[in-house]
Amino acid sequence: MDISISSSTVDVTPFIMCGGSGTRLWPVSRASMPKQFQSFFGERTLLQDTAVRVTGPGFAPPVLVANEAHRFVVADQMESLGIPRAQIVLEPEGRNTAAVALVASLLVERQNPDGLVLLLPSDHLVKNTAGFQDIVQSAVPAAQAGWICLFGIAPDRPETGYGYIEVGNEAVPDTASPVRKVSRFVEKPNREAAQSLLDAGNNVWNSGIFLFSATAMLAEAEQHCPDLLAGIREALAGATEDQDFLRLEAKAFTKLQSISVDYAIMEPSRRTAVVRAELDWNDLGAWDAIYAAHLPDAQGNVLLGKSVGYDTRNSLIRSDHHLVTTVGVENLIVVATDDAVLVADKSRAQGVKEALEAIRQKGFGEAATHSEVHRPWGSYRSIVSGDRFQVKLITVKPGGRLSLQLHRHRAEHWVVVKGTAQITCGERVFMLYENQSTYIPQGETHRMENPGHIPLELIEVQSGSYLGEDDIVRVEDVYGRS
């Protein structure tokens, strides 16, 4: 199976892990569209920033590892960047980073037994792309010599939310690189222990970024987690290709142990090494990290979007839609989307995860989904809903085509507000232009598609006894959905 990774002339193949839920960054990050697919700094999303960071000389086109639900979001965000990429590998269920590391190693080994893998998350902030690339290249000789290299971030505070790596005094042998052997791994410490680690001067934060040769990782896996490796081989042997996606075989993959590469391989291995990375790095784990990653104004505030802070100090205020104004407050996090608002003490940013669980228990759909829902053909946004009716704004990208479908419990009216639509309704196929409309009776097969070169925007008014998204009977679908 050719997954179009890299030629033998390229040293490093990035594997970008696109999983993770980012629950502490609710309400912007939700299960339907987690933080890696969101923008926090400028126009690009965190995933797009990560892809740009590993693009250039010395890097093969990146491979993306994602779950089924986000496959089209990943594809769309990469396509909009306009940079080459390899396939998107789909996990039937999340099985932590050890599984991803072994999938990456086996895929690269097929193309080039001497190839190197750069395994990295999609949701970190690194402000110096050139510096990051230089640090990766500095570890290449050690990785080629069979060492599994980690990138340790030089700490600037006694952080309790990260694991630490104690950097040994001994350089890896037979290379001229600045990589040192790992002395030990340290679990997330309490504050007193974190201060001791900082004072010692030879400890770094574990960034969760790894560089290794495929053959070296597989050799370590044979020794330390052979059952996991055997399961990965089985999942790859049964994998299927669908458009740009490589689907791992579900039955074999879901039986795998869920374990991090740190626990499964790095800690028991004697071939682990670390390079100290002097980088402006942030894993953006919660809203206080987002605050820290911005430059505050003279009052210590970070104001994003439509926000105003009057007599406000040391606060983060972000609004994506409605104007939000604060008066006479300090040390707050205020985040507003079009359907939810978070207000928190900045020192309690980690508690958003627990608050989100309370929202779930109340049964509010805003816990998991945004008002704007992305689909392979575009997106739709719920504008208003009531008893037996709902209004949506539907956007279909150029060339996008909804499934041929019918609804058993609702009828629909469509009004084109921008662009051109080709409509199928029963046996009829016709065009709709701006300010034109049509009616889709309950139970009638129908489809809309965008044959134009600009996005199609359409208002849909639904009416009927049941308006749920599961009232869709797909007759035909170009995206392979059931």
What is the structure's pLDDT at 10?
A: 46
**Does the predicted model carry a pTM greater than 0.85?**
yes
Gyration radius of the chain's alpha carbons: 25
Query: Strands 245-247, 88-91: parallel, antiparallel or unpaired by DSSP?
Result: parallel
**Domain ranges within the chain, ordered by starting residue:** 12-282, 295-366, 372-476
Please give the pLDDT value at position 173. Answer: 79
Q: Which CATH architecture has domain 12-282?
A: Alpha-Beta Complex (3.90)
Is the pLDDT at 8 greater than 50? The verdict is no
What is the tens place of the pLDDT at every residue in 248-270?
A: 999 999 999 999 999 999 999 99
Domain 372-476 is in which class? mainly beta
User: Six-digit token pair at 432?
Assistant: 């709709």
Q: Exposed, middle or buried by CB within 10 Å (0-12, 13-18, 19+), for 307?
A: buried
Average pLDDT of span 144-153: 95
**Surface-to-core class of residue 349, CB atoms within 10 Å of its CB (0-12 exposed, 13-18 middle, 19+ buried):** buried
Query: What digits encode the pLDDT tens for the residues 65-115?
Result: 999 889 999 999 999 998 888 889 999 999 999 999 999 999 999 999 889
Phi, psi of 92 (to 5 degrees): -60, -35
What is the pLDDT at residue 242?
84
Give the integer Cα–Cα distance in Å for 364 and 439: 32
| CA gap 405, 425 in Å, rounded | 10
